[in-house]
Chain A
Amino acid sequence: MSENFRVALLGNPNCGKSALFNKLTGARQKIANYPGVTVERVAGILALPDGTQAEVIDLPGAYAFDASSPDEEVTRQVVQGEFPGEAEPDVLVLVLDAGNLEQHLVFAQEVLALGKPTIVALNMIDMAERDGLKLDATVLSQALGVPVIETVAVRRRGLDDLKSAIADARAQIGTHADRPVMDATERRLEARTIAKATVYQTSKARRVGDRLDSVLLNPWAGPLILLALLFVIFQAVFAWAAPLTDALDGGAGALGAWVEGALPESFLRDLLTEGIIAGVGSVVVFLPQIVILFLFILIMEATGYMARAAFLMDRLMAGVGLSGRSFIPLLSSFACAIPGIMATRSIADPKDRLTTILIAPLMTCSARLPVYAVIIAAFIPAREVGWGIGLQGLVLLALYLAGIVGALIVALVLRGTLTKGGATGFIMELPRYQLPSVGDIALGLWQRAWVFLRRAGTIIFSATVILWVLLSFPQAEPGESQVDASFAGQIADGLNVVLEPIGFNREISLALIPAMAAREVAVASLATTYAIDAENEEAEAEGLASTLSNRWSLPTALAFLAWFVFAPQCLSTIAVARRETNGWKWPLFMVGYLFALAYIFAGITYWSAVALGL
C-alpha cells in the first residue's frame, strides 16, 4: 500500500475539532513538544474501515485565513503547505458548528475555495437540536458541493460515516476542484443564503447558557465566584493531593530500603539508592498535585468557563496594559510555563503577547511546588493561625502572591518601556457552556501526566545521575568530607562566592547548578547531596526536610524560597520562549531580568530576616 495520507481538521474555534480528533484517533496521538491547551500541533493515526491508515492533524481554530493571531497563521500555513517541515494535507475535514452555521460557513467558503478534497463534519447536531434548530444536511451538501456528515463528536455519532467519507476522499487526492473564490462580503452573503436554506426550523437565539451567564458574569457576583473557584483550586492542589503524595513518598522510601537490603554494597547500589531513587523519587511524588491542577484547568476550558474568566479578568489585566486574553496563558502557567507560553499564540497583539511570554515564568509553576513544599515542611511550623487556616498554607499563598504581584509590576514596567505600544483591545468569543466529556478530560490529563513523568525519567534522571557522579568522585581521603573533595564541591565553592552574600550555603549553590535544567531538580540534588553526606558521616539517613531544618538557618531557607519565586531555572521554558519569539534576544532578556530579581529579593529576604533575629 502507499504511505499514509494526511488529513487535517480545521474550523472556527470551539466547533469541536479536538473532540472529533480524539474520537477519530483514540489514544494513538503524538504531541510535538508540550501539549498546549488549544494551540499545539497534535497528530494522530486514524484507522480506516478498509484497514488502511491516515495521519490526522488537529489545527488551531481560525475565523479566517487572513490571520489576526499567530495560531490562525499556523493554520493557514499548514493548510496551504507553507509551514516549514509540515507536508501539505491531502484531505481537509472542515468542522462546522450546526448551531451557528451562518458564522461558520464564512470560513468554510474560504477553505472550499482552495479546491482541495474536503469533507464537512456538521458537528454539535445535538446542541443545535437542544436550541430548537432543525437542519437538512443534503441541502448543505448540494450548496457546498462536498459530502456533509452529521456528527456529535462527544457521543461518537456519525463517526463511522465520517471515516468512510475520509476513506472515499482518498480517490480524489491530488485533484483540484474549481470552486468560486469570493471576497469577504460575498462570503458572508453566501454563508447567510446557504444557512437559510439549510436550517429549516429556527428559534430565538436564546440559549440555556444565558441564564448561567447572568450569574457567572454578574458585575459583582462574577468576580467573587471566580475568586472562590481559584481558592478551591489551590486548596484542592494541597489538601486532596496530600494522601497520594504521602503514599508515593512512602513507596519511594520503601523501594530505596528494599534495594539497600537486596543488593550487596556496591557502586551500583549507591547510584540506585542515593542517585536515582532519592533524586527522581523526590520529584515524582508531586505528580498528584500537577494532575489535580491540570484537572481544574481542563474542566474550565471544556465547560467554556475559561473564556468567562478571561472576561472577568480583563479589567484587572487592562490596568497593567494587558488584556483578558493573557489570563488563560497565565493561569496555565501555574501548572507549567511551557503550555502557558504556547497558549499566548491566541493573543493577536504582538507586544501584548511578548509581555505575556516574559512574565509567564513568574507564575508559580508546579515544578516550584516540590521546592516550596520541602522548605515549608522543614521550616514553617504546622500551626493554625485561626479560622482553620494553617501557617504553612499561608506562606505558600504568600509565595504565589509574590509571583503574581511581581508579574503585574513587571508587565506594567515593560508596557511603559520595552514593549510600549498602543492600547490593545479585547475581542473574544464566549463559547456555549458544555458539560465536559469525561473521556477528553481523562485523555488530556494522561497526556500531561505523561509529559511530567517523561521529564522525570529523562532530564531529571540524567541531571541527578550526573550530579551523583560529580559528587562521588574523586573519592575523599579518610577524614575528609566526600562533598568537599568532589568535583561538584569544587564547582560549588566557586559559585558560592557570588551566592554567599544572599545567605546561600554551599549545598544550595551545588543544587542550583543542575536545577538550571528544571527547578524540581534542586530538591533531587539536595536529597542526593545530603544522602552522600549522610553515608560519609555514617549518620542515620533521615528525611530531607528534617536534614534541612537541622542544617539551614531560617533566613537562609526564606532566601532560598524568595530566589525560586523569580529564578528562571528551567531550560525548557527558555527554549520555548526562544521558539515563540524567534530569536535569542527576548529569552536572554527574560533570563537576565529574572535572575537579577531573584538575587535582589533573596538578598533582601535574607538580610531582613537576619535583622529581625529570625
Chain B
Amino acid sequence: MTLESLKPGHRARIAAIDWGALPPADAKRMRALGFETGVEVGMAHHGVFGGRDPVAVSIGRMTIALRKSQASAISLEAD
C-alpha cells in the first residue's frame, strides 16, 4: 500500500520511498522534512472535493501537505 491510500486518522511506517519517481527538487524537500524508510507517518486530512487532492500527512510533530502523485512514491509497511 502507498501513502495516498492511507485512510484519514490512520498511521503506518514507511517501508520504502521510490526517490527516482519524484522530481529531484521534490525529493530534496521531502528528505529535508524527514521522509525516509522506517519513519511513522499518518494521514491527517484528505483534500478538497471529488479528487481529495492534495492530502495532509503528519510526520513527527508536523503536518505536511502533499499531492497524491507525490504521496504515491511512498510505500507503507502492512500491519
Which residues from chain A sit less than 8 Å from chain B, CB to CB? 63-64, 66, 68, 99-100, 102-103, 106-107, 131, 184, 188, 205, 207, 210, 213-214, 217-220, 222-223, 307, 310-312, 314-315, 318, 323-324, 348-349, 422-430
Contact = CB atoms under 8 A, between A and B. Distances in A.
A427 B30 contact: yes
B25 A349 contact: yes
A188 B34 contact: yes
Interface in B22-70: 22-23, 25-26, 28-34, 36, 44-49, 51-54, 56, 58, 60-67, 69-70
Interface of B: 22-23, 25-26, 28-34, 36, 44-49, 51-54, 56, 58, 60-67, 69-70
Contacts, number: 116
Contact of A425 (B31, B36, B49, B69): B69
A311 B58 CA distance: 14
Nearest to B34: A103
B53 to A, nearest CB: 6
Contact of A427 (B44, B47, B65): B65
22 contacts: A68-B29, A103-B60, A103-B61, A103-B62, A106-B34, A205-B61, A217-B45, A219-B48, A310-B65, A311-B65, A314-B47, A315-B47, A315-B49, A315-B54, A318-B67, A323-B67, A422-B23, A425-B69, A426-B65, A426-B67, A426-B70, A427-B26
A314 B64 contact: no
Contact of B56 (A184, A220, A430): A430
- Residues of B contacting A: mostly: mixed
A218 B52 CA distance: 10
B32 A64 contact: yes
Contacts of A107: 32
A223 B49 contact: yes
Given A311-B65, A422-B23, A430-B63, A324 B54 contact: yes
A352 to B, nearest CB: 10
A207 B56 CA distance: 15
A307 to B, nearest CB: 8
Nearest to A223: B48
A220 B65 CA distance: 17
